[in-house]
Amino acid sequence: MRRLAACVLAALVGLLVGAPSSQAAGPLRYVALGDSYSAASGVLPPDPAAPPQCLRSTSNYPHVIAAATGARLTDVTCGGADTDDYFEPQYDGVAPQLDAVTRDAQLVTMTIGGNDSSVFINSIVQCGAAGISTGGQGSPCKDRYGSSFQDTIRTTTYPALVRALRAVQAAAPHAEVAILGYPWIMPERGGCFDRMPVAEGDVPYLRGIQATLNDAVRRAAAATGATYVNMNRVSDGHDACQPIGVRWVEPVLQGTNAVVVHPNALGESRMAAQAMRVLGLG
């Protein structure tokens, strides 16, 4: 945050005193990386500049931040991305995301890690299938998988996040690098079996898996000196079980987005607001 504040301050000083400055010569140079939570997959309107496979929206939180701050945005967010896609092409014709990160970047944001080892999607799919098999009763997912999802996050996802953040910082040594946590998908307890087919006893289990993921993101940011944008408190009460206009994440059934279990436009705008608050922007 200090680096970003220094860039903004330098630009303001340059404008006030009329001194030439590379920081004052143009808008904030902003690069957006990350997965479908960064890309706002399923939210309209789609980004015509994006590869079709990436399902990127112009209502994603990077576009909201850029519009609010006047930043010059380079957006390479892509649905389905994991940390490996920072270093390798995700699809044919889609360059590694790190290729977009240049030395003159001043701000880099991302939401990443949920797709590593397919933990996020597997936990939701497996818990949903288990919940349907018991008619929403008991905790069949927890009973079957135990700590396996969380173990993978701690042993595999966390070091992958550290590697990715360090690579971004090496590519843009003067940039403020920020990584967002994931807004809550499930409430603490109870659930909503008609919209999220997760057994009642597995609702806290699935939320615990996401809490472990967000903690891995937090710890990776702390280990690398990146800025962590905590979504836990601000997204509480806005999970996929809430009604339209309250929820930030869409449910599996009765939702409004083509891509389920992903942020809607309201969620993306709130992710942008929280990032700007933490970063001191806007």
The residues carrying an active-site annotation are 36, 262
The rounded distance, in Å, linking the Cα atoms of 67 and 93 is 28
Q: In 10 A of CB 127, how many CB atoms?
A: 27
**Is the separation of the CB atoms in 254 and 194 below 8 Å?**
yes
Instruction: Compute, in degrees rounded to 10, the torsion defined by CA atoms 213, 214, 220, 224.
Output: 160
The rounded distance, in Å, linking the Cα atoms of 25 and 248 is 37
Q: What is the largest CA-CA distance in the chain?
A: 70
In the block, which residue shows the tokens 């953040």?
165
Residue type, 187: P
